[in-house]
Chains A and B, each alone.
Chain A
Amino acid sequence: MMNELEQRLKNARLAPPSAALERRIEDAFANARRRRRAARQGALWWWTAALATAGGMAALLVVSARRSFPAPVAAVYQIEAEGRLREMLLNPPPPEAGLPSALRVSRTP
């Protein structure tokens, strides 16, 4: 009897939702899809704007750095020394060569 009752309940056709509800639900889904597309586009624009701003800032930094450090001017030195000193100034010995050895000459009277 119980199983028969369950079967009868199961077989009873359920009332379908009205066409108006179906339309309202479909509209709700269509609006959600539209909102999602708009949000994605918004995010894309936001990223583009952020990248453009970052690029602009970087360019601005490079330009301002160039302006605050003027190009170096060549310095010209005239060597007036002669002999060994001139030779050393024009062709300095490599660092490993060390300093030129000093020769002390002492004379007793």
Chain B
Amino acid sequence: MKGPDLAALHALYVENRRELYSYAVAITGNREAAEDAIHGVFERLLRGGGLPADLRPYVFRAIRNAAYDAWRRSQVRKDSIFDLAASVDEVAAGAGRPAGGEDLEPLLQRLSPDERETIVLRIHGGHTFQQIAALRGVPLSTAASWYRRGLERLRIMLAEEQ
């Protein structure tokens, strides 16, 4: 009987929970749906057989598939990947400009799903373009182009707002 390595899977969740969560929210735009997707993925992984040695990209891919399934069911995007409540608290406490989530969030929502997903994976998930390309099943140049185009569009939108 060969089951998944529970300790490795648990460690992966503990070390990557924010990244996995923000990735799922970036796709679903809905925190409840993102949480259900993550929970469903881990339930399936825990009930399944052995897992690949390179666990992190595998789990991100599984979360992506589950999050897109959830998004197709709900089609409602409203939640932010950022901790906006903490930003509001910082401003209220006189910390000056908040960490940046609240002004970037609506702009991120205006990017294409591919651009938004690639930016979240690269900046918050810490993935390389190679890993993103493998995860998405696209050429490396495509992943890099989604990222650059997304950042460029964000920059223009920010400049227009100021």
Chain A residues engaging chain B, CB cutoff 8 angstroms: 1-2, 5-6, 8-18, 20-22, 24-25, 28-29, 31-33, 36, 39-40, 43
Please state if B151 and A15 are interface contacts (CB–CB under 8 Å): no
Taking CB as reference atom, which chain A residue is nearest B44?
A: A28
Interface size on B, residues (CB 8 A): 41
Task: Note all chain B residues with C-beta closer than 8 A to A18.
Answer: 31, 35
Measured in the bound complex, the distance between the Cα atoms of B9 and A32 in whole Å is 11
B27 at the interface (CB under 8 A from A): no
Please state if A15 and B22 are interface contacts (CB–CB under 8 Å): yes
Q: List 29 A-B contacts (CB under 8 A).
A: A2-B155, A5-B158, A9-B100, A9-B124, A10-B124, A11-B99, A14-B124, A15-B21, A15-B31, A15-B79, A16-B17, A16-B18, A16-B21, A16-B83, A17-B17, A17-B21, A17-B38, A20-B35, A24-B39, A25-B13, A25-B38, A25-B39, A28-B46, A29-B6, A29-B9, A29-B42, A31-B46, A32-B47, A43-B1
Q: 8 more A-B contacts (CB under 8 A) besides A2-B155, A5-B154, A18-B35?
A: A6-B151, A9-B104, A9-B119, A9-B123, A12-B82, A24-B39, A28-B39, A28-B42
Taking CB as reference atom, which chain B residue is nearest A13?
A: B83
Please state if A1 and B38 are interface contacts (CB–CB under 8 Å): no
Task: Note all chain B residues with C-beta closer than 8 A to A43.
Answer: 1
Measured in the bound complex, the distance between the Cα atoms of B100 and A5 in whole Å is 10
Measured in the bound complex, the distance between the Cα atoms of B45 and A29 in whole Å is 10
Least CB distance from A66 to B in Å reads: 41
